[in-house]
Structure 1
Amino acid sequence: MASIRKRPDGRWRARYRDDAGKERARHFRRKVDGQDWLDDVTASKKTGQYVDPSAGKATFSAWYPSWADRQVWARGTRESADQAVESVSFGSVPLAKLRRSHVEEWVKESSGRLAPSTVRTRFNYVSMVLRGAVRDREIPVDPSEGVKLPRRRRAEQTMVIPTVEQVRAALDAAPKEYRALVAVCAFAGLRLGEAAGLQIGDVDFLRRTLRVDRQVQGDNVESTRLESPKAGSERTIAIPKELADILARHISEIGTIRDESYFFFRGGDLLNRNSAGHIWREIRKAAKLPATYTLHTLRHFYASALISSGCDVVTVQRALGHSQPSITLNTYSHLWPDAEDRTRDAAATLMRSVLDAPADSLRTIGQV
């Protein structure tokens, strides 16, 4: 129940009880101001936007760990979220005092030194935290909502796809122990971590399939760890006989390590981001490839081959391990023929079928 009464000193005392039954009160010089305040509280309760006046006192950085600890995240996701939160300029600001201007200033400052995609990724994590604060009723609204982000360059302007000759050069330049590494990235579209986690048991040489069940994360030997694939990335990929042969040859000539029989290693350790990066740079240099080419560039090569062969979006999505078809389209839509190309090709096929048909066939068609 809410009420408003005049006190002996002439001020008006407005009060109500919150969801926990605790009384909340404020004093006003005018009755109309007190009634407006009570009306706002009542409306916020009905719409589910009510926030305890004592909430939101913790700073953004202080509140984040308790919220993050409750999330069902892979270790890599938590590390990315931690990095995003550590980068904000408003970490010491109490949640209740956070304004859109705080987020805008941080985004603008970050845009001056980071790539648009990095800014967007960090913003998404911070926005996720703020939405969590809204759901926990620490703040009534998300101050990051509607914040304008730096424009990303279109995929067709930034994506580089190696030619067939360049991929062949990389295979030829690769040391014998890493030729299969180049092959699974170029002909199965594996990410670096997925390739590093590949085991003999993941390859069905009879059915010619390759199962992605894990990935290796970490920048160095000390931080190397096994994790589940990215969300939605577990998959079975149909591979060509030639790739199965390369993997079989790797087993017989190079061997594997550990009881799990991992394909790729350096010394006695699994590949990590730094060691694999060094190996690839040596291959790239020997093959005389552009410095912009990474192991991930070979994944683009694989995707472009599937698309040029006529594979639909869902097929490409499943082969690449994207969690949503929209991710595949956002990344590779420029590689698919557009509507004009398909219309032109369909009309050309129709014309050829008519113009190349024997005269008797045309007369028969006319009679029908």
Structure 2
Amino acid sequence: MVNARPHKLKSGKIVWRVQHRIDGKVVTDTFDDERGATQFAALVDRVDGAAARDVLRRRREGRNVITLRDWTVKYLDPESGLLTGIDPATRDDYRRIAERSFLVTLGEYPVDSITKQDIGQWVAWQEAQPATRVTAGGVRVASSKPLSAKTIRNYHALLSSVLKGAQTHGVATENPAYRTRLSRGMQEEAVFLSRAQFARLYEATPEHYRPLVAFLVGSQARWSEATALQWKHVHGDTTPPTVSLHQAWKKKHGHEKTRIGVTKTRRGRRTIALWPELVQQFGAPGAPDDYVFTGPLGGRQWYSPFRKVWDKAVVRAGLDPVPTPHDLRHTGASWLIADGKPLPFIQQRLGHESITTTINTYGHLLPDVQTQMSDSMAAIMSNVLPRIEA
């Protein structure tokens, strides 16, 4: 920790000195007052000596210093008009992410002096941080697991967006976060259930929850979409019957607990076909605004209580590896692929914004696709390459 210390000159005047290191060498900066010295020492601790000196030089020249924290606050302020097309809850989420990620180490850097090396050092720091979770009391605490690679990519994407905004509006000359190499990390593998395994899981699930479990695998809907489904979105009198997945549960904003909002992606707003036996599982239709899948006492089906029921059902069904409720979405998609349905149609049903997501997630499940492609190329080039004699 860098400290400000008083020093008496030969003239008897008291000045304040801050000793710190730049590139391994001890350097000293002198201040006429304790307050300025203390602020500079704190800045050295937050950034480094070279960056702190850059800020000091600019301020002494009377130049306005816009730090990354200053710019991030402005960029995320809806009144600035710099970031549009997001809802208030997402904006609040971005603020929280910034405060617990890149602003911790880079917040006091002048936004126009951040380098690719600074970004790389932040990434290294971020990868060393533990994952966090929110307790029932709303307190964020560290967990025993490391921060996932996907989370770091999301944090980096926000930082890059902030810096791109600075570049676009002339606050910085470049976006040093652009094309930063990030670790892909160890991804948790999806669990794809066989039909027999799903049948065991379905039988092991208490009767009240079976319609939801059947819908999750049969529709490949996300949890937030399925539990936000209302009877006005079910069209059981059409051939085939359909449901409109136009809304989902979203994170809270302000004093709201949770709220209904738009689906995860633009393509997430979709209508999908079902079949009569699945719709029959839903039971007698309720009022248009009633939820199709409810908790045991009515109202919204919350994830935490359902997860307890789910975990017990998984044990009773003897499933290993252990699936999560989201794996029902993966399972349903894998069955469609095994049945030969084209990936673009599956993309549309799943509500993926890009076919790349569908291919990256399920492409390896395509039945014999590599063999089919090699056979095609062999036939095309049969008159070019010499035959291999048996």
User: Structure 2 length normalisation: TM-score?
Assistant: 0.66
Structure 1: where are the runs of 5+ without partners? Answer: 1-52, 348-368
Post-superposition offset of 1:281: 2.6
- CA offset at residue 259 of structure 1? 5.8
Counterparts of 1:298-317 in structure 2, within 5 Å, are 298-317=328-347
Deviation at 1:301, TM superposition (A): 0.4
Q: Is residue 370 of structure 2 the alignment partner of residue 340 of structure 1?
A: yes
What is the SS of the residue equivalent to 1:184? Answer: helix
Structure-2 residue corresponding to 1:241: 276
In 2, distance between residues paired with 1:174 and 1:55? 66
Give the equivalent residue in structure 2 for 1:202.
Answer: 233
Q: 2:176 aligns with which of 119, 137, 143?
A: 143
User: Which ranges in structure 2 are unaligned for 5 or more consecutive residues?
Assistant: 1-60, 129-145, 378-390
Contact 1:60–1:92 (8 Å) recurs in 2: yes
**1:85 is the counterpart of 2:98:** yes
- Report the counterpart of residue 55 of structure 2 in structure 1: none
Q: Does 1:193 align with 2:224?
A: yes
SS at match of 2:106: coil
Alpha-carbon offset, residue 269 of structure 1? 3.7
| Matched residue, 2:210 | 179
Once the two structures are superposed, residues 113-163 of structure 1 have per-residue CA deviations (whole angstroms, 9 ceiling, x without a partner) of 311122112211211111111112111100112321012457xx8222112
Residue identity opposite 2:174 in structure 1: V
Compared with structure 1, are the counterparts of its residues 152 and 335 closer, same or farther at alpha carbon in structure 2 (3 Å cutoff)?
farther
**1:322 deviation in Å?**
0.5
Return closer, same or farther for 1:273/1:98 CA change in 2, 3 Å cut-off.
farther
2:315 paired with 1:285: yes
Residue aligning to 2:69:
61
**Which residue type is aligned with residue 223 of structure 2?**
L
**For the Cα contact (< 8 Å) 1:209–1:237, is it kept in 2?**
yes
Equivalent position of 1:161 in the other structure: 192
Q: Which residue of 2 aligns with 1:271?
A: 301
Q: Which moved more, 1:65-74 or 1:237-246?
A: 65-74
Identity %: 27
Amino acid in the other structure paired with 1:214: Q
In 2, Cα distance between equivalents of 1:289 and 1:56: 62
Q: How far did 1:280 drift?
A: 2.7
Q: What does residue 364 of structure 1 align with?
A: none
User: How far did residue 100 of structure 1 move?
Assistant: 1.7
Deviations 1:150-206 (A, max 9, x none): 12457xx82221121221122112222211111111110010100110111212113
- Normalised to the residue count of structure 1, the TM-score between the two structures is 0.70
More relative contact order, 1 or 2 (CA 8 Å, 6+ apart)? 1
Aligned-residue offset at 1:93: 2.0
CA–CA separation in structure 1 for the residues paired with 2:221 and 2:371: 30
Distance in 2 between residues matched to 1:54 and 1:278, nearest whole Å: 61
User: Does the alignment pair 1:228 with 2:262?
Assistant: yes
- Please give the alpha-carbon distance, in whole angstroms, between the structure 1 residues aligned to 2:323 and 2:204: 15
Quick one: which of 74, 77, 93 aligns to 2:87?
74
Three-state SS of the structure 2 residue aligned to 1:223 is coil
Q: Which residue of 2 aligns with 1:109?
A: 125
Cα 1:234–1:152 change in 2 (3 A) is same
In structure 2, relative to structure 1, the CA distance for the partners of 1:280 and 1:126 (3 Å cut) is farther
| Counterpart Cα distance in 2 of 1:161 and 1:100 | 40
Letter of the aligned partner of 1:99 in structure 2? T
Distance in 1, Cα, partners of 2:288 & 2:373? 55
Partner of 2:162: 129
Change in Cα spacing, 1:165 to 1:77, as seen in structure 2 (3 Å) is farther
Matched, 1:319 2:349: yes
Contact 2:116 2:176 in 1 (8 A): yes
Q: What count of residue pairs does the alignment treat as equivalent?
A: 288
CA distance in 1, matches of 2:165, 2:203: 51
Matched letter for residue 125 of structure 2: E
Task: Name the structure 1 match of 2:143.
Answer: none
Q: Which residue of 1 aligns with 2:115?
A: 99
Cα distance in structure 2, aligned partners of 1:193 and 1:80: 17
Q: CA deviation at 1:97?
A: 2.5
Shift of 1:344: 6.8
- Is this contact kept in 2: 1:194–1:212, CA < 8 A? yes
Instruction: Tell me, yes or no, if the aligned pair for 1:202 and 1:211 is still in contact at 8 Å.
Output: yes
Q: Secondary structure at the match of 1:139?
A: coil
